[in-house]
Amino acid sequence: MGQDILVVAELKDGQPKTAVRELLTAARRLADALGGQPRAVALGPGAASAAGELAAWGAASVLTADEAPSGGLRAVRVLAAAVAQIQPAAVLLSVNAFSRDVAARLAARTNGALASDCTGLNVAEGKLQVVRPVCAGRAILTAHPSAAGPLVATLRANSIGAEAPAAPGAGTVSALAVPADPADARVSLKETIATKSERPELTEAAVVVSGGRSLGSADAFKTIYELADAFGAAPGASRAAVDAGYAPHAMQVGQTGKTVSPALYVACGISGAIQHLAGMRTSKYIVAINKDPNAPIFKLADFGIVGDLFEVCPALTAEVKKAKTS
């Protein structure tokens, strides 16, 4: 393996997802420390047109695969071909459903080491170092993964922050042609149902406002949506609220839902069960609103408000709106 860092650039409507900027920021730092270059592989329709933005964020070269991978097996084959061509020290992906499907397969196929759900990526003593929560987030592990192949690491969004480079990368573009293999058809993508929303994606949002079972109904969740919209945030929910039918599963934050790491996390009527904390405890600042002063969430929160969320949240919504207009 060489010293370059390869970023997997997932596309949305032909453009790199927001989290890709953070991956390229991490790739630049790691490559600088190792003496290599940050590189990218863009997957999906319009991949070639995305090369400009990837270069603007530091990519020295961009491999493009215009096909929309029909399933995880095909995506892994394409990414393995990119690894064979670049010979990187590490491959970086965002934490999401796609990386959960392909990262472990890619590490196995390339004889690499897998480090999932990382919150930090560094170089120490000339070796790649990963930082990741373990034991449902109650401890932080720092390790130097080692294998014959590259490190395959998935990074939580908002973990390190995206920083534009002082100068863009060369952005040399080349197509990645990977022959089809009948074995890839064992798993295929039949349909993608896209939901349209003006709100930011939950896993990438800088601010998340979540509600718990104490909301009492799906209609009452409008309190959460109103506060989230005032912040320009993504709304979330605890597993208990989702199981009760108050919010869709796509909003679930926690060990069996989505993992988030925003700059600000507002927990409304959430007691703080370990399952929920595992999905949000790496948030930069946590604000808890709960009428129970002994709720476990207050032990983790940076700021706590003991009160009825149906009184506190509307008042907070009004104040946030006032601050934005002043």
| pLDDT value, residue 257 | 93
23-29 CB contacts, 8 Å cutoff, 24+ apart:
23/92, 23/93, 23/94, 23/155, 24/54, 24/57, 24/58, 24/59, 24/162, 25/57, 25/58, 25/160, 25/161, 25/162, 25/163, 26/92, 26/121, 26/155, 26/160, 27/58, 27/92, 28/58, 28/165, 29/121
> How far apart are alpha carbons 12 and 5 in whole angstroms?
22
Average pLDDT over residues 282-301: 96
Domains 5-186 and 202-325 belong to one CATH topology: yes
**Domain residue spans in the chain?**
5-186, 202-325
Percent of the chain with pLDDT over 90: 79
> How far apart are alpha carbons 56 and 54 in whole angstroms?
5
Dump pLDDT digits (tens) for 245-266. Answer: 999 999 999 999 999 999 999 9
State which fold the 202-325 domain adopts.
Answer: Rossmann fold (3.40.50)
Q: How confident is the model at residue 70 (pLDDT cuts 50, 70, 90)?
A: low
Dump pLDDT digits (tens) for 131-186. Answer: 999 987 889 999 999 999 999 999 999 999 899 998 999 889 999 988 888 888 78
pTM score > 0.75 for this model? yes
Mean pLDDT of the residues in the chain: 93
**Class in CATH terms, 5-186:** alpha beta
